[in-house]
Structure 1
Amino acid sequence: MLQRKFDQVVKQHYPNAKDAKDTSIHYLGKMQNEHKLDISKVLMATSVCSDDINIPSTTFFNVLFGPFIMGGLGGIPFVGQTGMTAFAHHIPDEGSAFIFYGPHIGVTLDGDLGKMYRPRQEETGNSCGALMLALSRLQDSHYQPVLNENDYQQMKLEESLLPYREDIINSDNPQKAITEATYDIIDKKIHEYVKTCKNEFPVDKVALLGGIIINTDYGLDDYFDAKNFEIVDLKSL
């Protein structure tokens, strides 16, 4: 009953979102049946936020090798070209590569985005915490992120979001807007790193699935709003 209620709430904000576990099954089937990838030899990389709440979001983790973790705060692939190269070098012999990426956002039964009830906590907390912190700072027109080694990822995340600042703070739903902007940043970086590191891959094709993870309550299934699924032909890059 509670899951059905969440389904209605999620669809108000993300009408195309589907249960995250069903999403995993759907795209594993596409990779295997339509694109003839041997699922038993697929190495998975993720570029999702390091937030612990994202671990159970999909069943990809239970089926594929890996994951090779590319994402840090917000899901930005902080491993860069070196990390993408390392991922390429770890692919099984005669295997395949799959990258799952995107930011996450919480939702409550009241329809509040950017919030969720975490395990064994009575009050709601931010999700994504890094993005909601960035939002609170970017809403101050005088704020500028200053890079420092003690908070490098958060500062780089905020720096990456600066070009989207006005659109985010003027949006009807800034929490959703900053999440969408972060997806754009991650998507561009993943494509950039795949292209610049294409010669490091021992395979001709790389499967990509990008979108937004939508966190619900503890113990309930999360959702995934898929924005991009493609099989990148490395020879054509």
Structure 2
Amino acid sequence: MLQRKFDEVVKSHFPNSMDAKDTSIHYLGKMQIEHKLDISKVLMATSVCSDDINVPSTTFFNVLFGPFIMGGLGGVPFAGQTGMTAFAHHIPDDGSAFIFYGPHIGVTLEGELGKMYRPRQENTGNSCGALMLALDRLHDENYRPILNDDDYQQMKLEESLLPYRADILSSDNPQKAITEATYDIIDKKIHEYLKTCKDEFPVDKVTLLGGIIINTDYGLDDYFDSRNFEVINVKEL
């Protein structure tokens, strides 16, 4: 019953989203049936937020090798070109690669975005914490992140979001808008690194699945709003 209620709430914000388990089944099936990929030889990389709440988000983790972790705060692929190269070098012989990427956002049963009830906590907390912190800071029109070694990822995340600041703050739902902007940043970086590192891949096919993870409640399935699914021939980039 509770899962059904969450389904209504989530789809009021993300009408095309799917239950995380259904997401895994759907896209693993497409990889096998439509693209003839051998799932037993697929290495998975993730560029999702380092938040612990995202670990059980999909059953991809239970089926594919890996994951090789590229993402840091917000899901931005902070592992960079070196990380993409290392991932390429770890792919099984005669196998292929799968990259699952995107930011995440919490939702409560009351429909509040950017919040969720975390395991064994009585009160709601931010999700994504890094993005909601960035949103709070972006409200100050004079704020500029200063890159430093002690908080590099958060500062770099906020710097990347500055070009989107006006659109985020003028949105009807800034929590959703900053998440959408972060997806755009991650998607561009993943494609950029693939193109730069294409010669490092010993295989032709790399599958990409990008979107937004929607965190629900403790013990319930999360959701995934897919924005990009493609099987790329990296040699043709």
- Report the equivalent of 2:187: 187
Q: What is the CA-CA distance between 1:25 and the residue it aligns to?
A: 0.7
1:82-108 deviation line (CA, Å, top 9, x unaligned): 000000000001111000000000000
Q: Distance in 2 between matches of 1:66 and 1:39?
A: 12
Partner Cα distance (1:223, 1:142) in 2: 36
Distance 1:233 1:96 in 2: 10
Tell me the amino acid that sits aligned with residue 108 of structure 1. T
Query: Which residue of structure 2 aligns with residue 204 of structure 1?
Result: 204
The answer to whether structure 1 residue 96 and structure 2 residue 96 are counterparts is yes
C-alpha distance after superposition, 1:29-83 (max 9, x if no partner): 1001110110000000000000000000000000000000000000000000000
| TM-score using structure 2 length | 1.00
Alignment of 1:1-237 (within 5 A): 1-237=1-237
- 2: distance between equivalents of 1:16 and 1:70? 26
CA distance in 1 between counterparts of 2:223 and 2:201 reads 31
Aligned length: 237
Give 1:154's aligned amino acid: Q
Can you give the 5+ residue segments of structure 2 that lack an aligned partner in the other structure?
none
The TM-score normalised by the length of structure 1 is: 1.00
Match of 1:219, as an amino acid? G
Unmatched runs of 5 consecutive residues or more in structure 1: none
Matches of 2:64 and 2:47, distance apart in 1? 15
Q: Secondary structure at the match of 2:43?
A: strand
Residue type matched to 1:23 in 2?
T
**Aligned counterparts of 1:136 and 1:153: Cα–Cα separation in 2:** 17
Question: Shift of residue 234 of structure 1?
Answer: 1.3
User: How far apart are the structure 1 equivalents of 2:154 and 2:103?
Assistant: 14
Contact 2:199 2:235 in 1 (8 A): no
Counterpart of 1:150 in 2: which secondary structure? helix
> Any idea what SS the aligned residue of 1:214 has?
strand
Distance in 2, matches of 1:224 and 1:234, equals 26
Partner secondary structure for residue 55 of structure 2: helix
How far apart, in 2, do the equivalents of 1:94 and 1:153 lie? 35
What is the CA-CA distance between 1:217 and the residue it aligns to?
0.3
Shift of 1:171: 0.5
